[in-house]
Structure formats: C-alpha cells, structure tokens
Amino acid sequence: MTTFADRLQVEPQAFAPSRALPQDHGLDIAAIRAEFPILSRTINGRRLVYLDNAATSQKPRAVIRALARYYEQENANIHRGVHWLSVQATEEHDAARRSVQRFLNARRESEIVFVRGATEAINLVAQTFGRTHVAAGDEVLITAMEHHSNIVPWQMLCEEKGAHLKVAPIDDRGQLLVDEFQKLIGPRTRIVAVTHVSNVLGTVNPVRELIAMAHSRGVPVLLDGAQAAPHLSVDVQHLDCDFYVFSGHKVYGPTGIGVLYGKAALLDAMPPYQGGGDMIASVTFEKTTYKKSPSKFEAGTPDIGGAIALGVALDYVTGLGIDRIAAHEHDLLEYATEKVGAIPTIRLIGTASHRAGVLSFVLDDVHPHDLGTILDGDGIAVRAGHHCAQPLMARFGIPATTRASFAVYNTREEIDVLVEGIKKARKVFGQ
C-alpha cells in the first residue's frame, strides 16, 4: 500500500518559468525560484504549486544556511559569556535586531522586541499595556476581519477586567466601514487593534487614516502586520502606529520567531511580560529591578538562531525590493482574480478595492475541504478552512473558504494550474 510518506517523494525537477517578463517588475522569478529548494520537489508526482503562503512562506537557501551556520559555527548563549562564541552570537543577534529595525524603519533598536510570533506579540501587549491601562467599563476596539490571534487575547483581557470588546463592522466586499469605526472610538476606548492586511479577504486597511482617527482621541493603535509584512512596505514612523507585530515565518524566515515593535515611550512604561533570566537588572529575594526594553520583554534564552535567520530573511526581502515584490504579487492577484473569478459557480470572498496577497473563494456544492484534497492530488497546496477567523466566516454566512495566497516566487503558470485543478474538482462533483 502506498503510504502518505511515499506520496511525498522528493524528485528534483527543474521548472523554468518564462524568462523575465514585463510583469516581473525587474525580478528574475526563475532565479528567485532557484533560491527556494523546496520548490523543486514534487507532490503526488506533480511539481509543487505552493499557494499557501499566508499560512507560512517557503524559505530561501540564505535563511536555511544562516540557521545551519549558526548551529554549526556560532552556537553559544548570548549576553552571558566572555568567551568568543558568546560574544559572536550576541553580535549576530544584535545585528538581526537592527535588520528588523531597518525593515520597519523604527526609530530605535530598543523598540524591537523578539517574540515567538505575531500571536505572542499581541498577547504581550494585552497582558502588559492592556492590564495596566484597561479597567472595568473600558473598551477595546477591533474589527470584524481580525484573525483569532487579534480577538482572543483582547477577549481574555476584557473578561479579566470587566471591559468591553467593540467590533467595527465591514461591508459585503470586505472593507472596513471607516465611519462606523470612527464612531466606535469613544471616551472609554483604551486601545485599538486592527489588522493591516486581512488574512482571509486580502483587504488592505487604510491604517494610517485609522491611526490618525484614534490618535485624535488619544487612543493608541496596535497593527497586526502578519499578512502585511511579506507583501508591502511598512514604515512604522510614517504610519505612526504605537505597536506593530509580525511573524518571521510568513516573511521567508523560520518559524518560532517574530517581532513586536513598540514606541519607546510606551515600552518603557510597560511592566515586564514574563519573569526570568536576561530581563533583570538585579535580583534579591526582596526586590528585583528590570532591564530596559527590549531585554525587559525577553526573559530566558531567546530563539537566537531564529532571530539571526529572520534578519537574513528580511535582508533578502529588502535586497529584492519590497516594492518590486508587491508589484509582482499584485499582478498575480489580479490575474488570479480574473481567471479564478471566471470559473462558473465560484464566489470570491473579499473584493475590496485595495487587496494584497490572498484570494479566497467558495464554490457552489464543492466544500473547501474536498476542493483542497483534489487540488492536493495535483500537487497544489492551498488552505481550506475558516482561517482562524470564525467571526468573519459568520459575517459572510459561510463555514469555510478555499484560499490561494501568493509569494514572490509564484507565477502565472501556477495560477493556470490552480484554475485547471478547480475545474477538475467541479467535474468530480458533477458540475
């Protein structure tokens, strides 16, 4: 019997997309693809068509090598030893923080806190800033298009404090109703938490405008950048956001490492998140004093290798040019919207005028899970499900969607393969 493992045989198979086309915006997509080893493997005897980048992106060789190099050549704990390796690891870790600082255009290095991912970053803010600023009767404002990770931490906080979670509505195209959002910022609003780009709808929120609205009433704003950082240029000073969070693994970095950006004044005033080593200035059994940010929020030995590799990933993105990546992905999204949208019985979920990265859809009479399985048979990886956004699914009256999400290495040819796969699924189900 064929086992699941057998189906995933590795069979290097060169794939050459058409040479630098005008729509590649100066990027050599074939050369970029060659930098991602996993893209040359096959699934079910077919070339992998990886369209699940919003779940996690694949990793370029530079990132994989950075991880290997760290463990092979430089592994030591940071901020501790006087020995050469520890000093070297500390320097590399600090350099990674500066890469993140440059990537976000943060004013200071100390405004960059390493965490496990966007989820941990939001929890950190809810448990530190939130617990000190939100009291009974206060309000936290989010939107109807948030990922569970930008709902649940606030719900937990509100439950603990007797505060209220307010939700700004969206329209049928998946766009935030900005006027409603503005009305919901009230005298008791203590923080606003909004996604920069929706992981289901692809909607790019007008975050700069939202931030200005909140600031005009003295309310700080956290932006969930998990789906934005891989697809568009982020400048935290220009946006003037108070907190910005993202996960490394969605932007070509490793899993287990992510970033919290916070304005220095806010981070300085916040209590620590977890207690432990590396976050203290001095400890006695009577009293402990804490280091400044970012150390205050980084108790214990961090993911040193992960942080270093994340720095390499962000430098890789910057090297290609985030604007060029955005332009290439925009073309893919337009092409996919046209081709997938033309399939009979398909309904696109999320048709905002400004979108990035993802295309969600439902088919009449073919459940996303069945479609996902049939596409997998052709080596096409998409996400089928509720995408950790159950309230959003409820808003659209659907249990789940199929989502194709794009990265710099994707091509129009791959979208053609997706379209053929969807047509095949319709045949299986007799449409």
| Site residues for other proteins per CB under 8 A | 1-2, 4, 7, 365-370, 373-374, 377, 384-386, 390, 393, 399-400, 428-430
Residues 6+ apart with CB under 8 A from 84: none
The CB-of-18 to other proteins minimum distance in angstroms stands at 28
Written as six digits, the tokens of 188 are: 């008791």
Q: Name residue 46's beta-bridge partners.
A: 43
Which lies closer to other proteins via its Cβ, residue 269 or residue 428? 428
Q: Name residue 139's beta-bridge partners.
A: 164, 189
At position 254, the amino acid (one-letter code) is P
The CB-of-382 to other proteins minimum distance in angstroms stands at 13
Strands (E), 314-423: 346-349, 358-363, 380-381, 383-385, 401-405
CB of 54 closer than 8 Å to CB of 199: yes
Q: How far is CA 90 from CA 71, 95, 137, 262, in A?
A: 14, 9, 44, 22
Residues 6+ apart with CB under 8 A from 21: none
CB of 371 closer than 8 Å to CB of 384: yes
The CB-of-399 to other proteins minimum distance in angstroms stands at 4
168: left (phi over 0), alpha (psi -120 to 50) or beta: beta
Q: Please report, to the nearest 10 degrees, the dihedral formed by the alpha carbons of residues 118, 121, 123, 129 taken in order.
A: -140
The active-site residue, picked from 55, 177, 388, 419, is 388
Q: How far is CA 349 from CA 45, 167, 242, 250, 354, in A?
A: 31, 20, 30, 22, 14
Q: Examine the residue annotation and report whether 158 is marked as an active-site residue of this protein.
A: no
Q: Which stretch of DSSP H or E encloses residue 221?
A: strand 221-224
The CB-of-370 to other proteins minimum distance in angstroms stands at 5
Which lies closer to other proteins via its Cβ, residue 272 or residue 368? 368
d(C-alpha 331, C-alpha 354), whole Å: 13
User: What does DSSP say about strands 401-405 and 358-363: parallel, antiparallel, or unpaired?
Assistant: antiparallel
The CB-of-155 to other proteins minimum distance in angstroms stands at 16
Tell me which residues are annotated as active site: 388
